Structure 1
Amino acid sequence: MALSTVEQVAGAKQGASQRRVIPLSVVWAVSVLGALAGWYYLGQVVAAGQTMLHMVDLGTYQIAADRVVHGVSVYDSPLRGNTRGVWEFVYSPFAALLFVPLAGLHGSAFTWVGALGNFAMLTGAVWAALSMLGYRRDRRLLVLGLSIAGLLLLCEPIRETVAFGQVNILLLLLVLVDMALPDSSRWKGVLTGIAAGIKLTPVFFVLYLLVTRRFRAAANAIGALVVTLVVGLAVLPKDSWTFWSGAFADPARVGVPENPQNESLRGMIARSLGAGDVAQLLWLAGALAFTGACLFLARRLSATERELPAVALCGLTTTVVSPYSWVHHWVWLAPLLICLGDLAIRRRGVVTAAGLVVAFAVASGGVFDLLGIHYGSVFDLPNRGPFAVLDHNAYIWLTLALFVSAAWWLRRSAEQSARTAFELSH
């Protein structure tokens, strides 16, 4: 079935659709599970606070903020120590300005503001994701959002982001809230542009807006990005010149690509084949292939009113194709788990349940302690032997599996729509 026909069918459905009510049984069940997960997480924090809430990265942002306040460059030298590629500031000058309020926080207030702030933003991101799934914005959604946020503390990238005090959940929130806005909103795209002004990877969503023909939103995103650049240039002209004249594209500021913690396609190739010119070409070719496949599938998903799966797929692709992706960059596994959970509830069966279980097993880490399995996560398995390329790059393989699943579902959906259209016409 042609894409235009699918879009026409989807458009007809959209006109007659209404927001779904969350079943009370689902709210209760998820609330109980969320409370148990939150209690377990708090138990870990109490038992090992220096491990669960060490806030090392948030402390590094605080050093950057202090440099801004005192007129010292954030790019000329590492923020901690003197080793190139370790603790260097890799965000934009605009991001450095956003971190300035951190300069006045100290002690336990610093830790709890970082932790509770991330949990609040995670809850907001969950609410936005549920809204994109078509659920009614009512008290049930508010309760369910808090409960799901508690459950997502068992997702390793989420847990690491909270522990490090990273910005990833903030970027997730900005993009999800933006994409949840109706296409008629004059502000759609602005938050995505701001997210890209903090860290460049959300620029990928501008491509998504373009391929889905939301040109005004794409223009808004580009305009907001330019505004963040101008603000940074006005307040920090020297640092802005350093960053935009080449520092933003300097991979040496992050570290060597074969680092075991680099969970991107480039990291997988570098660990398997080395970091030479051939590996670099393979990574570029693979990144282009991932990008093309993702945008094709995301456009089809969006055309059939599957906006959250489309956005989640784009978010996961940004981490795959990025030159360097730490585990905590993979926070886009959170909306994926929400999509799969919603699918498992609406279409109960072995396949949907198995998909949710597999994705949760890959995304989780410490949750396995509940079952007496203490290896921590898939990335703690030995990085050697014939299966090392599988277990140590599990997020990438999971993303590939999602590509295949999305392509299969879209083909099946198109065939069913074609049969329905044929039957109606005869």
Structure 2
Amino acid sequence: MSLSTIEHTAPPSAEHNVPQRRTIPTFAYWAISVLGAAAGICYLGQVLHTPQVMMHLMDLGVYQIAGNRVVDGVSVYDTPLLGHTRGVWEFVYTPFAALLFVPLVDLHGELYTYVGAFGNFAMLTGSVWAALSMLGYRRDRRLVLLGPPIAGLLMWCEPVRETMAFGQINILLLLLVLADMALPDSSRWKGVLTGIAAGIKLTPAFFVIYLLVTRRYRAAVTAIGACAATVLIGFAALPKDSLTYWSGAFVDPTRVGVPENPRNESLRGLLARTIGVDGAHQLLWLVAASAIAAVCLLLARRLSLTGRELPAVVLCGLTTTAVSPYSWVHHWVWLAPLLVYLADLALRRGGVAAPLGLLVALAAASGGLIAVLDPTVVSIFDYPSGNHLTVFFHNGYVWLTLALFGAAAVWLRRSVPTGRDSYARRDGVNGAKAGMSVIE
């Protein structure tokens, strides 16, 4: 179908979500099931062999302390949750997040471990389902059964492994945003989960801007309303802490740590370790971060309007982590849906580009694969620095994000003429076919 036909079949108010449903091929289904089961069993074996490394749940324990403080009426912001050192184990989430951690207070022993481990795995599986749905796969029993094996394979992605080990909250935020973006634009609930995610941690608020630039105004307003509701709940339950947080604690970088920390896998960390972030270097970081965010929104808008909603959302997720002042390795869980998308692309399309892109992404996220050789090490950052390659792989996720910008720009330039992509917005099956004819 030509672009001129698309202009008449897909009105500007069309849906962004993929309505054209595909079935997972039988061969791929069984191959992924077997590989995923093997990967999951191998991961479980390492957890049982070295639980102090693979499942120590230190951050989940800190969340539990925050929940205890809420119950006891003690501020979560006045002092670190563990120890007495500023920038170490301080509570950096919203008061609303502290309220969500209250149920952890009653978890102890094996139940505590099971909730930390299987809870994150269940949310990772849900994220896989949302990603596959956004790729256009039919929501049937085969998709449901394939979720856990794919999650098993993703356990070897370094940020996912670290999130599992620490009992971190990142996969929950990933699930909230992906599930929200997988909803049809006509849903009155679209935006609620994104707003809640932003009400827990501020970085998902970037997706509100994404909704605005893709002209999904109702969803953006809904997200803002949901986030505002979390702030009001925080003020109602924890007025003192809410005043502390929203009056300045949320922008205090000293609460997290020094930016040059080798595990700060963000643009600011890269600059801090290379040239510093004082004075003019701080301004350089702000300008570079703003430019990266702007380019991301431009690319994500065009990807979304041409039917590529999942890569658009993933690009935004990676960007929020790259431009954040402080991003631990486990914050980069957006690599998981990226790998899902690239694997699907490599399976569906011929040629060299898609498989090569998948291999590059796997290499960048392969820190977790080190555990195959040494189960006492879960990250490349555990190896000592000392050579020039350190500058590269200690900032690998930032470089990968920038490389994805370039790949997306090249693909859009070759596939969709500038100024014409807006006509590929979809409305039902006809619009979907029009959009797919442009992008495939």
Confirm or deny: 8 A CA contact 1:53 1:115 kept in the other structure.
yes
Q: How does 1:6-17 map to 2 (within 5 A)?
A: 8=7, 11=10
1:29 aligns with 2:28: no
Aligned residues: 416
Q: Which moved more, 1:173-182 or 1:8-17?
A: 8-17
Deviations 1:264-283 (A, max 9, x none): 00000000012311221111
Aligned to 1:98: 100
Aligned to 2:319: 317
Aligned to 1:169: 171
Q: How does 1:218-367 map to 2 (within 5 A)?
A: 218-367=220-369
Deviations 1:324-359 (A, max 9, x none): 000000000001001100100001332211111111
Confirm or deny: 8 A CA contact 2:68 2:102 kept in the other structure.
yes
* In structure 2, C-alpha distance between the alignment counterparts of 1:128 and 1:8, rounded to whole Å: 29
Deviations 1:49-99 (A, max 9, x none): 111110000000000000000100000000000001100000000000000
Alignment equivalent of 1:40, drawn from 9, 27, 42: 42
Alpha carbons of structure 1 residues 73 and 365: separation in structure 2 relative to 1, 3 Å: same
* In structure 1, C-alpha distance between the alignment counterparts of 2:88 and 2:134, rounded to whole Å: 38
* In structure 2, C-alpha distance between the alignment counterparts of 1:202 and 1:65, rounded to whole Å: 22
Alpha carbons of structure 1 residues 379 and 11: separation in structure 2 relative to 1, 3 Å: farther
* In structure 1, C-alpha distance between the alignment counterparts of 2:199 and 2:5, rounded to whole Å: 35
Alpha carbons of structure 1 residues 246 and 106: separation in structure 2 relative to 1, 3 Å: same
Deviations 1:296-337 (A, max 9, x none): 000000001100000000000000000000000000000100
Aligned to 2:182: 180
Aligned to 1:394: 396
Confirm or deny: 8 A CA contact 1:35 1:147 kept in the other structure.
yes
Alpha carbons of structure 1 residues 372 and 112: separation in structure 2 relative to 1, 3 Å: closer
Alpha carbons of structure 1 residues 284 and 265: separation in structure 2 relative to 1, 3 Å: same
* In structure 1, C-alpha distance between the alignment counterparts of 2:4 and 2:250, rounded to whole Å: 42
What is the TM-score when the length of structure 2 is the normalising length? Answer: 0.90
Aligned with 1:325: secondary structure?
A: coil
Aligned to 2:84: 82
Aligned to 2:113: 111
Whichever residue aligns with residue 228 of structure 1, its letter is: T
Alignment equivalent of 1:195, drawn from 188, 197, 209: 197
* In structure 2, C-alpha distance between the alignment counterparts of 1:11 and 1:360, rounded to whole Å: 36
Confirm or deny: 8 A CA contact 1:6 1:417 kept in the other structure.
no
Whichever residue aligns with residue 29 of structure 2, its letter is: V
* In structure 2, C-alpha distance between the alignment counterparts of 1:214 and 1:367, rounded to whole Å: 39
Aligned to 2:425: none
Aligned to 1:383: 385
Whichever residue aligns with residue 154 of structure 1, its letter is: W
Shift of 1:415: 4.9
What is the TM-score when the length of structure 1 is the normalising length? Answer: 0.93
Deviations 1:122-173 (A, max 9, x none): 0001000000000000011012211110100000100110110100000000
* In structure 2, C-alpha distance between the alignment counterparts of 1:106 and 1:155, rounded to whole Å: 28
CA RMSD of aligned residues (A): 2.4
* In structure 2, C-alpha distance between the alignment counterparts of 1:193 and 1:286, rounded to whole Å: 26
* In structure 2, C-alpha distance between the alignment counterparts of 1:91 and 1:242, rounded to whole Å: 12
Alpha carbons of structure 1 residues 378 and 81: separation in structure 2 relative to 1, 3 Å: closer
* In structure 1, C-alpha distance between the alignment counterparts of 2:196 and 2:299, rounded to whole Å: 25
* In structure 2, C-alpha distance between the alignment counterparts of 1:165 and 1:117, rounded to whole Å: 9
Unpaired runs of 5+ in structure 2?
421-433, 435-440
Whichever residue aligns with residue 114 of structure 1, its letter is: G
Alpha carbons of structure 1 residues 64 and 374: separation in structure 2 relative to 1, 3 Å: closer
Confirm or deny: 8 A CA contact 1:14 1:305 kept in the other structure.
no
Whichever residue aligns with residue 11 of structure 1, its letter is: A
Q: How does 1:404-423 map to 2 (within 5 A)?
A: 404-415=406-417
Confirm or deny: 8 A CA contact 2:158 2:378 kept in the other structure.
no
Unpaired runs of 5+ in structure 1?
422-426
Shift of 1:101: 0.3
Alpha carbons of structure 1 residues 7 and 96: separation in structure 2 relative to 1, 3 Å: farther
Q: Which moved more, 1:42-51 or 1:378-387?
A: 378-387
Whichever residue aligns with residue 247 of structure 1, its letter is: A
Confirm or deny: 8 A CA contact 1:7 1:304 kept in the other structure.
no
Confirm or deny: 8 A CA contact 2:126 2:175 kept in the other structure.
yes
Whichever residue aligns with residue 86 of structure 2, its letter is: R
Aligned to 1:424: none
Q: How does 1:56-71 map to 2 (within 5 A)?
A: 56-71=58-73
Shift of 1:375: 7.3
Alpha carbons of structure 1 residues 394 and 374: separation in structure 2 relative to 1, 3 Å: farther
Alpha carbons of structure 1 residues 85 and 373: separation in structure 2 relative to 1, 3 Å: closer
Shift of 1:248: 0.4
Aligned with 2:220: secondary structure?
A: helix
* In structure 1, C-alpha distance between the alignment counterparts of 2:66 and 2:269, rounded to whole Å: 27
Deviations 1:240-283 (A, max 9, x none): 00000000000000001111110000000000012311221111
Whichever residue aligns with residue 150 of structure 2, its letter is: I
Alpha carbons of structure 1 residues 10 and 151: separation in structure 2 relative to 1, 3 Å: farther
